[in-house]
Amino acid sequence: MPKLMNIAGPRLAIRSPFFWYSCFVKSPWKRFPSATLSILVLNLLCYCFTAKYFLFLDIGYWPDSLFQYGVHPILLVFYALFIHGNILLLINNMLFFWAFGPVVEDRLGPERLLLVYFTPGIIGGLLQLLINASPHGHFFPIFGASACIMGVMGACWYLYPWSTICVSYSFLFFIKGKQEASAFWIIIIFLVGNIVVGVISGSAEGIENFTNVGGLVGGALLCLAMKVKRDSALLSHVKKEQSELGDLQLLEVPELEILREDDPTDPDILRAMLKPAMEDGRLDILEQAFREAGAALIDKDPALVATYMLSCHGDNTCYTPAMLLHTAHALEDAGDPRRALQIYQIVLDRHPQSPEVEVVLYLVAYCWSHYLGDAENARAVLTDLLQRFPNSPMASQAKTLLRWIGN
C-alpha cells in the first residue's frame, strides 16, 4: 500500500514497491509551517475516520441526511473541506499541499494561509451544492478538499511563479528520473488538465474538476486582492541556488543583495553579507543594507547590529542615538554587558551633544557597578555625569547610585 514519507523538510514522497515520486519547491521557508501541518494532519484524521478498509470513502459512515441537499448544507460544505474519495486522491493532495503549503504560509502567515485554503473550498462546495440541487443536477457526494489544495497551489502560482519545482520519480526500479520546471508551467498543466477532464466527464461528474479550477484561480485572486509581494524571476533563481547549496554563507554578495528583496530585515542574510563584503572592501553595500534594515533589525538581532557597529566600524548615520541606546539595552538583557558598554561609548564618542548622553552616562555607570562589579569606573562616570548635568533629571538617580556603590 502506498504511504506518505516526509523527506528533508518540505519534501514529501509517494512510494510503492513499483513506483515512487517526490515533489518540492526550491524556495527555502523560514518560519515553521504550523498551519500547513495542522491542516495536513486534520485531513489525514478525517480520512481515517471515514475510509472503509483505508482504501475509499465509506459514505454510509455519515448519517444519510449529511449528504442530502437541504439538510445542514453549510455543515456539509465544511465536512467536504477535509474529505477525500480514496487513498490515492488523499496521498496526491497531501503531497502537493506539503510541497506548496509551507512556502505560501511563509509569505502569507498562518492566518492568511487559512483564508486561502478555506475560501476556495467553501465557494467550490457551495457551487457543487447548487448544481446538485438544480432541476437537472445529479446527486453525488461533495469532496471539497481538492479545491482547497488547488487554492493553495493558486496562491503559490501568484506568489512564486518562477520558483523551481523538482519532481523525482522511479518506475519498476530501472526507469528513474528527475525533472525541474517553474511553478508557473507546472500549475498551468494542472489547470488545463482539470478543465479538459471536466469537459470530457460531463456536467455532473466534471463539476469537481471545475471546482478545482475555481479553487486555483480563487487562491491567486485572493493573493492579488491582498496585494502580497511576488518573487521575481531573478529572486527565484537565487532561492533555487540557496536551496541547492543549503547555506547562505556559500552565496556571493550580489546574490545576497538579491535575497534582501524578499526581506531587508532578515538577520541571516545580513550576517552572511558581513565577511565577504568586508573582504571585498564593499562597506557601501553593508551601509545600505543596515540602513534599510533600520530599527526592525535591532528588535530581531541586536547582537548583529553590535557586530556591524563594532567590528565593521558601521556608519555613524545608520543608527540614531536612540536606536543605539535600544541596541545596548537589548544586549544587557541578553547578558552581554561588555558589548553594551561599547555601544554606549559609541553614543558618547559620536553623538556628544545628543539628548541621550546623560541617560547613557547613567547606564554606563550602572553596567560597571551591577554587571561587572567595577565600583571605581562606575564612580568616575557618575561624577562626570553630575559635573556635566548637575540639574538634569538623571542627577538624583546618579546620587542614589553613588550612595549604593559607597555602601
Q: Is the pLDDT of residue 144 over 70?
A: no
What would the 3-class secondary structure string for 295-330 be?
HHHHHHCHHHHHHHHHHCCCCCCCCCHHHHHHHHHH
Residue 57 DSSP SS3: strand
Q: How far apart are CA 96 and CA 106, in angstroms?
A: 16
Comparison of pLDDT for 298 and 67, the residue scoring more:
298
pLDDT band per the 50, 70, 90 thresholds, residue 190: confident
Neighbouring-strand partners of residue 127: none
Q: Is the pLDDT of residue 377 over 50?
A: yes
DSSP state of 356: T
The pTM of the full predicted model, rounded to 2 decimals, is: 0.78
Q: Which CATH architecture has domain 3-225?
A: Up-down Bundle (1.20)
pLDDT band per the 50, 70, 90 thresholds, residue 10: very low
Phi, psi of 24 (to 5 degrees): -155, 155
Neighbouring-strand partners of residue 20: 15, 170
**pLDDT for 73:** 54
pLDDT band per the 50, 70, 90 thresholds, residue 55: low
Comparison of pLDDT for 300 and 62, the residue scoring more:
300
- Tens digits of residue pLDDT in 380-404: 999 999 999 988 888 899 999 988 8
Mean pLDDT of 240-258: 90
**pLDDT for 208:** 67
Mean pLDDT of 346-375: 91
Mean pLDDT of 333-351: 91
pLDDT band per the 50, 70, 90 thresholds, residue 7: very low
Q: 216 and 157 in contact (C-beta within 8 Å)?
A: yes
Q: Do domains 3-225 and 247-406 have the same CATH topology?
A: no
Query: DSSP letter string over 120-138?
Result: HHHHHHHHHHHHHHSTT--
**pLDDT for 394:** 86
Q: How far apart are CA 331 and CA 290, in angstroms?
A: 18
Where are the chain's structural domains? 3-225, 247-406
Q: 354 and 347 in contact (C-beta within 8 Å)?
A: yes
Highest mean pLDDT among 177-186, 275-284, 357-366: 357-366
Q: How far apart are CA 324 and CA 358, in angstroms?
A: 14
Q: Which CATH architecture has domain 247-406?
A: Alpha Horseshoe (1.25)
Mean pLDDT of 49-68: 59
